[in-house]
Structure 1
């Protein structure tokens, strides 16, 4: 890794995109501030939330909104001291503007970028990464979901793995556990991809945490966007995430463009994840919402078209079979959304209206 001055502890940059995340973001932030052994620069990018996300962050940082730990795993036993310095921006700031958190921070702080509109996951990530790349002491860039909880040792474990892994590794992942299913794995560092159907899955999905040895990252096709770290070399080689996916498959596309850079696994960088907390992603307990399925099926086609266009007939046949299953179960709204998504049709009205008018060109733009 590179990016820190001589003798200085390497800093972990944390990029978190929020959109209507009021119910989960404070757990995420409190868990990060409890890390005892790792300096961090934490950048939130809010995608024009329409709930109380921004006010919740401001009130929490100022000490006006109390936070108390719940029984969810990974949370610290007590809140971090307040106030927490909150620095807000309307665009990625220049070098030297980001506060420090964690080890070595005299006045712990976080940064909040207001994106101005819902730019989708990749758009928010790219703004946060732009700010972090301007900080020369940031050696590793951790993309973390706002509905994730990072136990105190996770940030340090991630940084140690990257420091010891060598320059040939460009992406890093750790174990992701379901926050609501104690001990069950959502994705173990990375995921697999079938480029004929466009279907993806998490390594060791639903396997008990206690029974699963660390996986071999040589079998990873990508790293889950819920907890994904990249190096400066990766960013310089690959560039930013493609923003036309809007939701889903951005991290798969990113990994497929990595060239000769390998994927690594970080033992101990375990997080807990509330899967689909804001957009209704499919989980082990429920099917996906029409909103999530529209983007999931649309972007499945988009990815296959970009990386294996000869497979489009196979991917279409597989996806239409899934649409038929949804219809036979009586979930006609989900079936319609998935059908429209994969076939490049305009989204259902209910899906379209969940996106603000000014953001619709980004969300529903063409190929």
Structure 2
């Protein structure tokens, strides 16, 4: 059947040419695109890369067989939320999407992954945001079933149905409603962004998807699209000083805003738990980032 809705797919790149190009190649194999639907647009934002990857990605887009790929350059590396907002804002202003599909550049959607999301969205009009079945790098084991569960007083999360095989997940049900959809693959009704605004750019990395869920209009829901599969080839790649620093700052910001009753305990627990973890693993540079993040957060308030 002819695709009758508009979908904008948003991809954010920062100095990861090979990942972004692989993701784009995979998107060009979507059934809808191979079926010559002209209702799908892809927006790639480069978050001020300094390694020349923006030039290489732009050349790939110029030579691609699909014409509806838009390339935007950010003037600064403003983080995940702001970088994706640039793409979302462009889509809302120029492309009139019904849905916005936000994908990490280290994801590889299967050919019918979008088809399954569109069918789920048609059957469940009250669901504002769907999450796909995120698979590990080999595409054999579930990384998360759409999203995760979050413990605000511990600032810890648990991926839904993590570790199940594809076959096991096909017959599984979520033990309880998800707390949030994983930012690596978020299929969002465009009306959500028109109603509540975009991602909160105060979060440089992490917690922006939790913040978005907290702002959903009353009566809106989130859910797992079981049959939409997306491989996440970089799912365990964010162990760095930058990631450590921003994850702590974002956790403190989010908890102070939405769970103030948890904030004192959470701040102490998170710092202590991470300190001991880093000592036990010999990750001294992560402890530097931990201390720096707490100093920055508390001294700047």
TM-score strictly above 0.5: yes
1:317 to 258, 262, 268: 268
The reply on whether 1:35 has 2:43 as its aligned counterpart is no
Matches of 2:139 and 2:3, distance apart in 1: 38
2:246 to 281, 289, 295: 295
Matches of 2:58 and 2:95, distance apart in 1: 27
2:181 to 204, 223, 228: 223
Structure 1 contact 46–114 (Cα < 8 Å) conserved: yes
Structure 1 contact 324–335 (Cα < 8 Å) conserved: no
Name the residue aligned to 1:337: 289
Residue 43 of structure 1: CA displacement? 0.5
Report which of the two has the higher share of helix. Answer: 2
Name the residue aligned to 2:103: 144
The total of aligned residue pairs comes to 292
Matches of 2:176 and 2:281, distance apart in 1: 38
Report which of the two has the higher share of strand. Answer: 2
Seen in structure 2, the aligned counterparts of structure 1 residues 169 and 308 have a Cα distance that, compared at 3 Å, is same
The reply on whether 1:191 has 2:148 as its aligned counterpart is yes
Name the residue aligned to 2:259: 308
Secondary structure of 1:174's match? strand
CA RMSD of aligned residues (A): 2.3
Structure 2 contact 8–95 (Cα < 8 Å) conserved: no
Matches of 1:274 and 1:256, distance apart in 2: 28
Secondary structure of 1:24's match? helix
Name the residue aligned to 1:253: 211
Structure 1 runs (4+) greater than 3 angstroms displaced:
213-218, 342-346
Normalised by the length of structure 1, the TM-score is 0.74
Secondary structure of 2:187's match? strand
Alignment of 1:94-173 (within 5 A): 108-135=67-94, 137-166=96-125, 168-173=126-131
Matches of 1:222 and 1:159, distance apart in 2: 20
For structure 2, which runs of at least 5 residues remain unmatched after alignment? none
Seen in structure 2, the aligned counterparts of structure 1 residues 214 and 113 have a Cα distance that, compared at 3 Å, is farther
The reply on whether 1:47 has 2:25 as its aligned counterpart is no
Seen in structure 2, the aligned counterparts of structure 1 residues 8 and 60 have a Cα distance that, compared at 3 Å, is closer
